[in-house]
Amino acid sequence: MIIAVDFDGTIVTHQYPKIGKELPFAIETLKMIQKEFHQLILWTFREGKELQEAVEFCRARGLEFYAVNSNFPDAIPERNPRKLNAELFIDDRNLGGLPDWGVIYQMIKSGNPYKPLENNKQPVEKEKKFWFK
């Protein structure tokens, strides 16, 4: 599976243009996902020096991406927009926010990345009964 992964707010806390603190288990989980033969693409707003710093941050922790802001490893990242051909996007700005990295791993491993929440059902409003009914 090809998985696009955001950087700020997903791998590290939001401190752009600086690099924030590493989110717990983010790098370890991504490396485990890679070992299971998934291709990871770093998909981020960062460009130029800030992008290179993010790539180096991950590389120093043993995480190498298949490609950066592109579908192919040797492509030169162009200016926005960057539309990627990925099967899954991991981003803190998704609907519902960023799940825990353990949850993300289990969703990918099970092959079922979307599971509706049971407790998300809307309460059914009971019909009001009046004395004259």
Q: Domain count for the chain, please give it.
A: 1
Cα separations in angstroms, 66 against 31, 37, 99, 111: 12, 11, 23, 21
Q: pTM (2 decimals)?
A: 0.78
Phi-psi sector, 21: left (phi>0), alpha (psi -120 to 50), beta: beta
Residue 65: give the domain boundaries: 2-114
Query: Would residue 122 count as lying in a domain?
Result: no
Domain holding 12: CATH number?
A: 3.40.50.1000
The alpha-helical segments, DSSP class H, found in the chain are 26-35, 48-60, 101-110
> Helices 101-110 and 26-35 meet at what angle, rounded to 10?
10
Question: For residues 12 and 27, what is the distance between their CA atoms, to the nearest angstrom?
Answer: 9
Residue 123 lies in a domain: no
pLDDT mean for each 10 residues of the chain (133 residues): 95 96 96 95 93 96 94 68 82 85 89 63 56 57
pLDDT of residue 100: 87
The pLDDT score that the predictor gives to residue 94 is 83
Q: Which two tokens stand for residue 28?
A: 């370890």
Closest Cα to residue 62, out of 24, 31, 104? 31
Assigned domain for 19 exists: yes
- What local confidence, expressed as pLDDT, does residue 7 receive? 97
For residue 104, being part of any structural domain is answered with yes
Q: Is residue 132 part of a domain?
A: no
pLDDT given at position 2: 94
Quickly tell me which residue has 């998300």 as its tokens.
120
User: In sequence order, what E strands does the chain have?
Assistant: 2-5, 39-42, 67-68, 88-90
The Cα–Cα gap between 68 and 76 comes to 9
